[in-house]
Amino acid sequence: MKPLLEVQDLRVAYPNREGAFSDVVRGVSFTLGRERLGIVGESGSGKSQTGRAILGLTAPGGRVTAQRLNFDGIDLLACPPAQRRSLRGGRIAMILQDPKYSLDPVMRIGAQIAETLQTHAPVPRREAQERVFEALAAVGIEDPARVAQLYPHEVSGGMGQRAMIAMMLIAGPELLIADEPTSALDVTVQLQVLGILDQLVAERGMGLIFVSHDLRLVSSFCDRVLVMYAGRVVEEIAARDLQHAQHPYTRGLLNCLPRLGAAQHPLPTLDRQPEWLQP
C-alpha cells in the first residue's frame, strides 16, 4: 500500500545572530501509512518543528527543505500556497500543545470550531452547530451547548485542550499531527481522547503522528516510534519493542522513568556522547 506521507531528508533551519542558518531538524526521514507513529525525545529535539514543517507552519524566517515531502502524492513544498492552505485544517490537521496560544481569545469556542468545519465542508448553520456540539461531547465535555458559548479564558486549560482537539477533528482529517494532545488532561479524559484518536485511525484509515514526552504512553498507544535527539532521528523501533531499544540515548530516556518500589539513588542522568550529533 502506498504511504500516506513520505518524508525524506527533511531539514528546518533558522538564522542565528551571525546571519547564517542553523539546522534545528537535520535530515529526518520516515514514511507514514494508516497507522499511529509516535515521535519522542527531549524538549528541543525537533519533534514539534518536524510536525509544523509538514503542515506548513514553520515560523517566519525559517527555511524548510527536503528531498521528498509528499502527502498522498502531493508535493507539499512545490504545491501552490492556496492548495497548501486548503489541505491545512482539512485533510491535514495539527493539535497544538497549549490552547492559551492556539485558540482565538476574542471568539467563542463554538464559533471557532464551526469556522473550521465550514471552511473545509460548507454546511448550513444549524447543521454546523449540531456538529460542533457532537464534537465537543466526543472529547468528554458534558454540557457542549454551554461551553460553545464561552470564550477561551472562561474555561480551564484541560477543557481548552479538549475544545482544540474537537476543532481539529471536526473536518475529518486524513492525517492528524498531535503535539502533546493529552498533556493538560486528567487520566480519565486522557483515555477518552486516546480512544477517539484510536477509533479514527481504525475506522477512517487516518494516519496519526503522536508527539509526546511520555514514553510509556507512546509504547502502549502507537504502532511505531521515532526517537529524536538534537534534530535528527537516532532510532526507529516498533512501539511494542521500545523497552528493548538499543541506542544509548533511548536507553537513557527509559532509565530516567520512575519505577514504583524501586529506589533510584543517585537519580539517573543521560550520558550524552558527541557522536550522537553526527548525521
Q: Tell me: do 105 and 129 sit in the same domain.
A: yes
Beta bridge partners, 203, equal: none
Q: Tell me: do 34 and 69 sit in the same domain.
A: yes
Q: Tell me: do 74 and 179 sit in the same domain.
A: yes
pTM as predicted: 0.90
Assess if residue 209 is contained within a domain.
yes
Q: Tell me: do 160 and 265 sit in the same domain.
A: no
Mean pLDDT score, 4-16: 95
Cα 97 to chain centroid, rounded: 8
Task: Assess whether pLDDT exceeds 90 at residue 65.
Answer: yes
Q: Tell me: do 179 and 69 sit in the same domain.
A: yes
Q: What separation in angstroms does the CA of 63 have from each of 31, 54, 86, 261?
A: 22, 12, 21, 48
Concatenated DSSP letters for 128-156? Answer: HHHHHHHHHHHTT-S-HHHHHTS-GGGS-
Assess if residue 140 is contained within a domain.
yes
258 pLDDT band, cuts 50/70/90, is confident
Q: Tell me: do 7 and 42 sit in the same domain.
A: yes
Task: Assess whether pLDDT exceeds 90 at residue 140.
Answer: no
Q: Tell me: do 180 and 273 sit in the same domain.
A: yes
DSSP 111: H
Choose one of 108, 137, 172: the last residue of a domain: 172
What pLDDT, on a 0 to 100 scale, did the predictor assign at position 279? 64
Domain count, the chain: 2
Assess if residue 213 is contained within a domain.
yes
Assess if residue 192 is contained within a domain.
no
What pLDDT, on a 0 to 100 scale, did the predictor assign at position 114? 95
- Could you tell me which residues come within 8 angstroms of residue 217 by beta carbon, excluding any fewer than 6 positions away? 182, 194
Domain with 205, as residue range(s), is 1-91+174-184+197-279
Q: Tell me: do 160 and 274 sit in the same domain.
A: no
Assess if residue 191 is contained within a domain.
no
Q: Tell me: do 212 and 269 sit in the same domain.
A: yes
Q: Tell me: do 269 and 180 sit in the same domain.
A: yes
Assess if residue 190 is contained within a domain.
no
Q: What separation in angstroms does the CA of 34 have from each of 149, 164, 199, 233?
A: 35, 23, 12, 21
Q: Tell me: do 208 and 82 sit in the same domain.
A: yes
* Total residue length of the chain: 279
Assess if residue 189 is contained within a domain.
no
- pLDDT tens per residue across span 73-94: 999 999 999 999 889 988 999 9
Instruction: Give the relative orientation of helices 125-138 and 157-169 as an angle to the nearest 10 degrees.
Output: 130
Assess if residue 222 is contained within a domain.
yes
* Better pLDDT: 146 or 204: 146
Q: Tell me: do 158 and 46 sit in the same domain.
A: no
CATH number, domain with residue 16: 3.40.50.300
CB 55 within 8 A of CB 94: yes
What pLDDT, on a 0 to 100 scale, did the predictor assign at position 205? 83
CA distance 145 to 108: 12
